[in-house]
Amino acid sequence: MSHVVVYSSDWCPYCMRAKALLESKGVAFEEIRVDGQPQVRAAMAQKAGRTSVPQIWIGERHVGGCDDLYALERAGKLDVLLQA
């Protein structure tokens, strides 16, 4: 199972949806909250090239945000990526 990292915010509905999808698949993930931590958000933005949350990595691959995660699921590619 690939290591999954989710940068998130407590109040973000997209973060909640992305985490719910991963949890429904039984995926354990590392959650890094950016609330009140501008340096952590800046590091995420530099790494992802995006400032919005969630930002999700599966293994070394930057998946993107919630919509990107659900697009992988709809295309039948998420499970394969998680198993890599």
Task: Tell me the backbone φ, ψ of residue 27, rounded to 5 degrees.
Answer: -90, 125
Answer whether 7's CB lies under 8 Å from 53's CB.
Answer: yes
**Bridge partners of residue 32, in order along the sequence:** 7
Residues 37, 78 contacting (CB under 8 angstroms): no
What are 12-44's pLDDT values in tens digits? Answer: 999 999 999 999 999 999 999 999 999 999 999
- Residue range of the domain that includes 49: 4-83
Number of domains in the chain: 1
Does 1 score more than 80 pLDDT?
Answer: no
| Average confidence (pLDDT) over 67-77 | 98
**CA-closest candidate to residue 68, choices 84, 52, 56, 82:** 56
Q: For position 68, what pLDDT does the model report?
A: 98
Backbone φ and ψ for 4, nearest 5 degrees, come out as -115, 130
Helix (H, G, I), strand (E, B) or coil at 64: strand
pLDDT digits (tens, 9 = 90+) for 40-68: 999 999 999 999 999 999 999 999 999 99
Q: Which CATH number do you get for residue 26?
A: 3.40.30.10
